[in-house]
Amino acid sequence: MITGGAGFIGSNLAASMIGAPGVRVRILDNLSRKGVVKNLQWLESKAGKENLEVVIGDVRNPDVVKRAAAGAAEIYHLAAQVAVTSSVVNPVEDFDVNARGTLNVLEAARLSGMKPFFFYTSTNKVYGSLSSVAIVEGGESYRAQDPAFRGVNESQRLDFHSPYGCSKGTADQYVRDYARIFGLPTVVFRMSCIAGPRQFGTEDQGWVAHFLYSAIAGRPITIYGDGLQVRDVLHVHDLIDAIHAARKHLDITAGKIYNLGGGVSRAYSVLQMLRAIERCTGAVIRTRFDKLRPGDQPLYISDTRNLEKDTGWSARRRLRDVLDDIHAFAKENQTENGTLQSTNVPAISALEGAA
């Protein structure tokens, strides 16, 4: 069972499982995010009715979640409110989706009697603004003052700095504790920037895809702050490989939390990313600057060595692969006016099983 299975990561994960011998995939999604209906249609085109089941519902409804989780040997909980900005506008909804929704999925797993493998996608935002990481300005980007810096590891102090950080951090601690108290075999990934095909990026979430789509359409891009902020970027297919590796090595990974991103060799500033997108698309990007948003980390790079040691996984795809794959997806789904095709759906309250 994959919650949020029609979303960016969920649809790529589902596609990697569909057709595997003996595997039946059940998706739980409320289809509220713009564009995800196209992802669902894409999945249905790849799968027969015998190995893909779709449940339209909301993780805030415990009865719907319990029915969707019934009989599941593996649960991948990806459904979430994903934007810091939205969490500031409506922190109650953010909590209900991310914290309470996760508790609903955990309870469904616990009460199923199946002891399913439980995977959860958390975020680097649980580490707050990372004021403990000293930085210096260097050319088009910030860099760590310490030349031996290899990224943020899992021992970094939690410091929730936004409603989103609070709700996701609450959730990943619940997942960890359900492993300790109830014996569920869980794995948490605290993720940095994930990018790739099937991502309908917006200004608030999915910034690499948003930049590329804006470049193609000729829309100006707003940069919040000076553009020197750094993130490590991981191709979504490398993420999917990491999820499968964690599942394969559950004898080692169960109950653990891992930081995941592209690492130091795949870290780029906003300005560096804009230049790379111009080279990929041939577009000239117009930019405008606005004030820095509260709680933004000037530099975040994942130290992925614990996951690599425990599973043998390593990132294989380059930034060029990320941008080329997003660009190809955009060209396949572009309308005449340069915008990305998407399918509108009813509001959440009108969907079956909504809270």
Mind telling me the catalytic residues?
A: 164
Q: 226 with 160: CB under 8 angstroms?
A: no
Q: How far is Cα 64 from Cα 212, in angstroms, rounded to an integer?
A: 37
Place of tokens 């294989």: 316
Q: 78 with 2: CB under 8 angstroms?
A: yes
Count the neighbouring beta carbons within 10 Å of the beta carbon of residue 247: 17
Which uninterrupted H or E stretch holds 11? helix 8-17
Which of 17-26's residues contact partners 24+ apart within 8 Å by CB, and which partners?
18/43, 18/46, 18/47, 18/51, 18/52, 19/46, 19/47, 19/51, 23/51, 24/50, 24/51, 24/52, 24/53, 25/51, 25/52, 25/53, 26/1, 26/2, 26/52, 26/53, 26/54, 26/55, 26/68, 26/72
Sign of the Cα pseudo-torsion (244, 245, 248, 252, in order): negative
Q: Tell me how far apart the terminal alpha carbons of the chain are, to the nearest angstrom.
A: 19
Q: 119 with 130: CB under 8 angstroms?
A: no
**Per-residue tokens: 121:** 């996608």
The candidate with the shortest Cα–Cα distance to 192, out of 226, 144, 153, 160, is 153
Side chain identity at residue 288, one-letter code:
R
State the pairing for strand pair 230-235/141-144: unpaired
Q: For helices 8-17 and 236-248, what crossing angle results, to 10°?
A: 60
DSSP code string of 125-150? GGGTT-TTS-EEEETTEEEESSTT--
